[in-house]
Structures are given as C-alpha cells and as structure tokens.
Amino acid sequence: MEPSNAGSSPAGALLVACLLVDVTLVVLSVVAGLVLGEELEPVVAQVPELKRLRLPLWGCASCGASRRAGGIWGLVPIAGALRVRRACPSCGVTPEHPWRPLGLASVSAVVFAALGLRLGPHLDLVAYDALALGLVAISAIDLEKLIVPVRVLYPTLLVTAALLTASSVLDGRLGPLWRAVVVGAASSAVFLCIHLVQPRGMGFGDVRLAGLVGFGSAWLGDGWHAVSRAGVAFLAAFVLGALIGLVVMAASGTGRKTRIPFAPFLASGAIVSVLWGAPIAHAWLGRFG
Ligand SMILES: [Zn+2]
C-alpha cells in the first residue's frame, strides 16, 4: 500500500483526524445508547405504578423472578433485550411489551449517534445524552399511560442542569446558563397559560416538561438565539403533534375526543432544535430580517 496522499498535507491530515474522531464518536454513542436505552426498560415498566423501583429491576411483572438472562449473555445489551421478550422461565407468563426494551435501546442509539455527530467530543454531549435518555423514557411512559412522571423528569432536569453548569463553568461563560434558566422558566409559564385555558388539551406534566425542553434547547443559542432555539423546539413539537394528531384522529375515528400524548412531540422538538436549531432559526428569522 502506498503512503496516503491525504496524510502528507496538513489539511488532509486534519480531515482524516476529524473523520476518525467522528467515526469513533458515533460508534461509542451507538454502544452507549444501546446499553443505557435498554436499561430504561425497568424505569418505563415500573415508574408509573410504583413508589419505589422493585428488585430485581428486570423482574417478571407476574412472579417477580428476574427475566434478565444470567451469565455472559446477560451482560450483552441487545442479547439481554432479546431474551426478555420470551415467556418468563419461572411462571411462563409472556411480557406485556416484549419489544419495548429493543425499541428503547434503538431509539436511544440513533439519537445518541446524531447528537455525537452534532456536538462532538465535549462535556455538552454527555449533558445532551442525559437529556435525550430522560426524554426517551418520558415519551415511552406518556405514550403508554398518558402521564409525564416527575420521578423521571426531575432527575433528568437535575443531571442535565448539573452537566451544563459544569460545562459553562469550564468554558468560563455563564451567559448561556442564565439565559437557558430564564427561557426554561418562560416556556413553562407559556405552557401554564395554555394549560389554564385548555386543561384537557395540555396536561400539567407538559407544563413541567416544557421547562426542561426550553432550558435544554436555549442553552445552545448565543444571545437572543437562546429564545429562537427554544422557539424551534416548540414549533417542531406543535407541527409534528398537529400532523400526527390528525392522522391518529382520522385512523381511530374518535375525532377530537382522542387523547394524544404530547411529551413525545416535545421531546422530538427538543432533539430537532439541538440538532438543527441554528439553521432552522436562521432560515425562519431571515424571512423577517
Ligand atoms: Zn414470572
């Protein structure tokens, strides 16, 4: 093999180095997403009904015996998720949601990979991975039970805020942090108004979640762009919610009585804003400027 030309010029070497960093980051993000996303299963299965998590975490809902494969296979993420889809070895009852661990793992892996590519190897990436993981769990619970559990929302807010504060302090820039706090509080206030006018359409859980989404998306925007970043998140949430809501109403035939969980749309809006908030806000504000 002849020595690569790309490596001989400084620009080529830089390109190869960047590509290597990106590939490594995506691979690590996918593995982290699969492992951590799968571990959301006990949270999604237990949090809506119990005050405290029941042990073993992967216990059968019927007899409590561990459903997680023992030995070496229990340690391999997707192998573990595929095994728990089968009937319980102790009581023979099949799990209610056999594919859910795999769904949680794959969605988390895809989102982690996209965030890895977008944010690069920084502390911010860990903060947004934590936010994404919490949003995946909240969305899954809201889809199934129509609730936004504070026992997932508050820890997610706490961990994300702690990591973003650490990142702000390390960068020596506290501006993004206080802007994110103000935008997060304002987002909750706006959603509270919608909730007071239309309590059936917008639950109080969505009011709390809007604060987390506003905070998380605003942190990435400079100056007034903190507001437009949050604007992109909520605009995307309402557009996606309206489109999919119409399809669901038409398909179910129950019209406006259908209760549609809004957390998955708020979560998707937050991810859209983190990934493409800058270009969308630019195109959007450019139309008025
Ligand atoms: Zn069992």
Going residue by residue through the chain (289 aa), what tens digit of pLDDT does each one get?
A: 444 454 468 888 999 988 999 999 999 999 999 999 998 998 999 888 776 777 878 888 888 887 776 667 767 777 777 777 778 888 888 888 888 999 999 999 999 999 999 999 999 999 999 999 999 999 999 999 999 999 999 999 999 999 999 999 998 989 999 999 999 999 999 999 999 998 887 889 999 999 999 999 999 998 888 999 999 999 999 999 999 988 988 888 776 667 789 999 999 999 999 999 999 988 877 765 4
How many angstroms separate the alpha carbon of residue 84 from the centre of ligand 1?
11
Ligand 1 centroid to residue 63 C-alpha, Å = 4
Q: Is 267 within the bounds of a domain?
A: yes
Do residues 43 and 107 share a domain? yes
**Domain edge (last residue) among 74, 102, 121:** 121
Task: Measure 68 CA to ligand 1 centroid, in angstroms.
Answer: 11
Residues 241 and 268 in one domain: yes
Helices (H), 39-174: 40-46, 77-83, 100-119, 123-145, 150-171
Ligand 1 center to 98 CA (angstroms): 13
133 alpha carbon, distance to own chain's centre: 5
Residue at a domain's end among 76, 92, 121: 121
Query: Could you tell me if 167 and 283 lie in one domain?
Result: yes
Ligand 1 centre to CA of 46 (Å) is 15
- Provide the number of structural domains found in the chain: 2
Both 167 and 143 in one domain: the answer is yes
- Distance (angstroms) between ligand 1 centre and the Cα of 55 equals 13
Domain boundary among 57, 92, 121: 121
Same domain membership, residue 91 and residue 56: yes
Which distant-in-sequence residues (6+ apart) come within 8 Å of 97 by Cβ?
45, 144
113 and 139 inside one domain: no
- Which residue type sits at 37? G
Ligand 1 centroid to Cα of residue 58, in Å, is 11
Q: Is residue 12 situated within a structural domain?
A: no
The CA 69 to ligand 1 mean position distance, Å, reads 13
**How far apart are the C-alpha atoms of 264 and 217, rounded to whole Å?**
16
Same domain membership, residue 186 and residue 67? no
Which pLDDT value is given to residue 85?
Answer: 78
Residues flanking ion ligand 1, Cβ below 5 Å = 60, 62-63, 65, 88, 90-91
Same domain, 53 and 106: yes
CB 142 within 8 A of CB 205: yes
Give the residue numbers spanning the domain of 81.
17-121
What pLDDT score was predicted for residue 7? 46
CA of 255 to the centre of ligand 1 (A): 39
What's the confidence (pLDDT) of residue 222? 87
Rg (CA), the chain: 21
Same domain, 156 and 273: yes
- Asked if 180 and 215 count as a contact pair (C-beta separation under 8 A), the reply is yes
Of 77, 95, 78, nearest to 86 (Cα)? 95
